[in-house]
Protein backbone atom coordinates (compact mmCIF):
# COMPACT_ATOMS: atom_id res chain seq x y z
CA UNK A 1 0.00 0.00 0.00
CA UNK A 2 1.51 3.34 -1.01
CA UNK A 3 1.99 6.19 1.44
CA UNK A 4 -0.64 8.25 -0.39
CA UNK A 5 -3.24 5.51 0.00
CA UNK A 6 -2.42 5.08 3.70
CA UNK A 7 -2.61 8.84 4.30
CA UNK A 8 -5.94 9.17 2.47
CA UNK A 9 -7.34 6.18 4.38
CA UNK A 10 -6.25 7.48 7.77
CA UNK A 11 -7.37 11.08 7.29
CA UNK A 12 -10.80 10.15 5.99
CA UNK A 13 -12.07 9.77 9.57
CA UNK A 14 -11.72 13.48 10.23
CA UNK A 15 -13.82 14.83 7.42
CA UNK A 16 -15.29 12.35 4.98
CA UNK A 17 -15.96 14.14 1.73
CA UNK A 18 -17.09 12.80 -1.56
CA UNK A 19 -14.64 13.05 -4.41
CA UNK A 20 -14.25 16.58 -5.69
CA UNK A 21 -14.71 15.16 -9.18
CA UNK A 22 -18.30 14.06 -8.57
CA UNK A 23 -21.29 16.29 -9.10
CA UNK A 24 -22.81 15.27 -5.75
CA UNK A 25 -20.32 17.15 -3.56
CA UNK A 26 -21.86 19.12 -0.76
CA UNK A 27 -20.89 22.77 -1.12
CA UNK A 28 -20.91 23.37 2.65
CA UNK A 29 -18.41 20.58 3.27
CA UNK A 30 -16.22 21.80 0.42
CA UNK A 31 -16.26 25.29 1.96
CA UNK A 32 -15.35 23.84 5.35
CA UNK A 33 -12.53 21.82 3.84
CA UNK A 34 -11.24 24.95 2.15
CA UNK A 35 -11.54 27.02 5.34
CA UNK A 36 -10.31 24.36 7.79
CA UNK A 37 -8.26 22.04 5.66
CA UNK A 38 -4.79 20.63 6.07
CA UNK A 39 -3.28 23.68 7.74
CA UNK A 40 -5.95 23.68 10.47
CA UNK A 41 -5.69 19.91 10.98
CA UNK A 42 -1.93 20.15 11.25
CA UNK A 43 -2.22 22.96 13.79
CA UNK A 44 -4.13 20.53 16.01
CA UNK A 45 -2.39 17.28 15.20
CA UNK A 46 1.23 18.42 15.27
CA UNK A 47 3.29 19.67 18.19
CA UNK A 48 6.99 20.40 18.58
CA UNK A 49 7.93 16.73 19.00
CA UNK A 50 6.13 15.84 15.76
CA UNK A 51 8.41 18.22 13.87
CA UNK A 52 11.43 16.27 15.11
CA UNK A 53 10.14 12.96 13.77
CA UNK A 54 8.34 14.29 10.67
CA UNK A 55 9.46 12.43 7.55
CA UNK A 56 11.63 14.23 5.04
CA UNK A 57 12.74 13.55 1.45
CA UNK A 58 15.20 10.92 2.67
CA UNK A 59 12.71 9.02 4.85
CA UNK A 60 11.72 5.49 3.92
CA UNK A 61 8.13 4.57 3.18
CA UNK A 62 7.90 2.63 6.45
CA UNK A 63 9.05 5.72 8.38
CA UNK A 64 6.38 7.77 6.63
CA UNK A 65 3.67 5.19 7.37
CA UNK A 66 4.74 5.04 11.02
CA UNK A 67 4.59 8.83 11.35
CA UNK A 68 1.13 8.96 9.78
CA UNK A 69 -0.13 6.23 12.15
CA UNK A 70 1.25 8.11 15.17
CA UNK A 71 -0.26 11.37 13.95
CA UNK A 72 -3.76 10.27 12.87
CA UNK A 73 -4.51 7.00 14.69
CA UNK A 74 -2.56 7.20 17.93
CA UNK A 75 -2.77 11.02 17.96
CA UNK A 76 0.43 11.24 20.00
CA UNK A 77 1.21 14.70 18.62
CA UNK A 78 -2.26 16.10 19.36
CA UNK A 79 -2.20 19.58 20.85
CA UNK A 80 -4.48 19.92 23.80
CA UNK A 81 -4.23 22.26 26.75
CA UNK A 82 -6.60 20.13 28.79
CA UNK A 83 -7.42 16.45 29.08
CA UNK A 84 -11.16 15.87 28.84
CA UNK A 85 -13.03 12.71 29.71
CA UNK A 86 -15.50 11.22 27.23
CA UNK A 87 -18.56 12.69 28.93
CA UNK A 88 -17.05 16.20 28.91
CA UNK A 89 -16.17 15.92 25.21
CA UNK A 90 -19.65 14.70 24.30
CA UNK A 91 -21.41 17.46 26.25
CA UNK A 92 -19.13 20.15 24.78
CA UNK A 93 -19.86 18.86 21.27
CA UNK A 94 -23.59 18.79 21.95
CA UNK A 95 -23.52 22.40 23.17
CA UNK A 96 -21.15 23.63 20.46
CA UNK A 97 -23.31 22.53 17.53
CA UNK A 98 -25.72 25.28 18.55
CA UNK A 99 -23.08 27.79 17.39
CA UNK A 100 -21.11 28.57 14.24
CA UNK A 101 -17.81 27.59 15.86
CA UNK A 102 -16.94 24.91 13.30
CA UNK A 103 -13.29 24.78 14.36
CA UNK A 104 -14.30 23.75 17.87
CA UNK A 105 -16.62 21.05 16.52
CA UNK A 106 -13.83 19.61 14.38
CA UNK A 107 -11.40 19.85 17.29
CA UNK A 108 -13.79 18.05 19.65
CA UNK A 109 -14.29 15.27 17.12
CA UNK A 110 -10.52 14.92 16.70
CA UNK A 111 -10.22 14.71 20.50
CA UNK A 112 -12.71 11.84 20.45
CA UNK A 113 -16.17 13.33 21.03
CA UNK A 114 -18.88 10.90 19.93
CA UNK A 115 -20.78 12.23 16.88
CA UNK A 116 -23.66 9.92 17.87
CA UNK A 117 -23.97 11.23 21.41
CA UNK A 118 -27.53 12.11 22.37
CA UNK A 119 -29.04 14.15 25.13
CA UNK A 120 -32.62 15.08 25.89
CA UNK A 121 -33.74 12.54 23.25
CA UNK A 122 -31.82 14.30 20.45
CA UNK A 123 -28.66 13.09 18.76
CA UNK A 124 -25.93 15.68 18.11
CA UNK A 125 -26.87 16.00 14.40
CA UNK A 126 -30.53 16.50 15.29
CA UNK A 127 -29.58 19.06 17.92
CA UNK A 128 -27.58 21.03 15.33
CA UNK A 129 -30.50 20.89 12.94
CA UNK A 130 -32.92 22.11 15.64
CA UNK A 131 -30.68 25.14 16.09
CA UNK A 132 -30.57 25.75 12.33
CA UNK A 133 -26.87 24.96 12.18
CA UNK A 134 -26.79 23.09 8.87
CA UNK A 135 -23.00 23.13 8.52
CA UNK A 136 -22.62 21.77 12.05
CA UNK A 137 -25.06 18.99 11.21
CA UNK A 138 -23.12 18.17 8.04
CA UNK A 139 -19.83 18.01 9.95
CA UNK A 140 -21.38 15.58 12.41
CA UNK A 141 -22.87 13.43 9.64
CA UNK A 142 -19.59 13.48 7.68
CA UNK A 143 -17.84 12.11 10.77
CA UNK A 144 -20.13 9.16 11.36
CA UNK A 145 -22.97 10.81 13.22
CA UNK A 146 -26.54 9.87 12.46
CA UNK A 147 -29.52 12.11 11.99
CA UNK A 148 -32.37 10.23 13.59
CA UNK A 149 -35.12 12.61 12.48
CA UNK A 150 -34.82 11.25 8.93
CA UNK A 151 -34.91 7.55 9.78
* pLDDT, tens digit, 9 for 90 and up, residues 74-111: 888 887 777 889 999 999 999 999 999 999 999 999 88
Q: How far apart are the first and last CA of the chain?
A: 37
Q: Which residues pair with 122 in a beta bridge?
A: 119
* Inside any domain, residue 107: yes
Report residue 60: phi and psi, to 5°.
Answer: -80, 165
| Residue in 132, 128, 130, 131 with CA at minimum distance from that of residue 141 | 128
- CA-CA distance, 37 to 144, in Å (whole number)? 18
Q: From first to last of its 151 residues, what are the pLDDT tens digits of the chain?
A: 555 555 555 555 544 444 444 445 678 877 877 777 778 888 888 887 777 788 889 999 999 999 888 888 888 888 777 788 999 999 999 999 999 999 999 999 988 999 999 998 899 999 999 999 999 999 999 889 987 754 4
State pTM to two decimals: 0.71
Please give the tally of structural domains in the chain. 2
90 with 120, same domain?
yes
46 with 107, same domain?
no
How many of the other CB atoms lie within 10 Å of CB of 74?
A: 9
Question: Are the C-beta atoms of 94 and 119 separated by less than 8 Å?
Answer: yes
Q: How far is CA 25 from CA 16, 106, 151, in A?
A: 11, 19, 22
9 with 63, same domain?
yes
* Inside any domain, residue 49: yes
54 with 105, same domain?
no
100 with 139, same domain?
yes
Domain that holds residue 57: 3-15+24-73
* Inside any domain, residue 79: no
| Residue 54: partners with Cβ closer than 8 Å, 6 or more residues away | 46, 67
105 with 66, same domain?
no
109 with 138, same domain?
yes
* Inside any domain, residue 124: yes
Amino acid sequence: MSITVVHRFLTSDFLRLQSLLTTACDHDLIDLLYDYGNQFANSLLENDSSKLSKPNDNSSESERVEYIKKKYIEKIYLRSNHVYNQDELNKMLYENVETTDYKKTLYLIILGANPNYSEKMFAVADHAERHQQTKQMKIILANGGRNFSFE
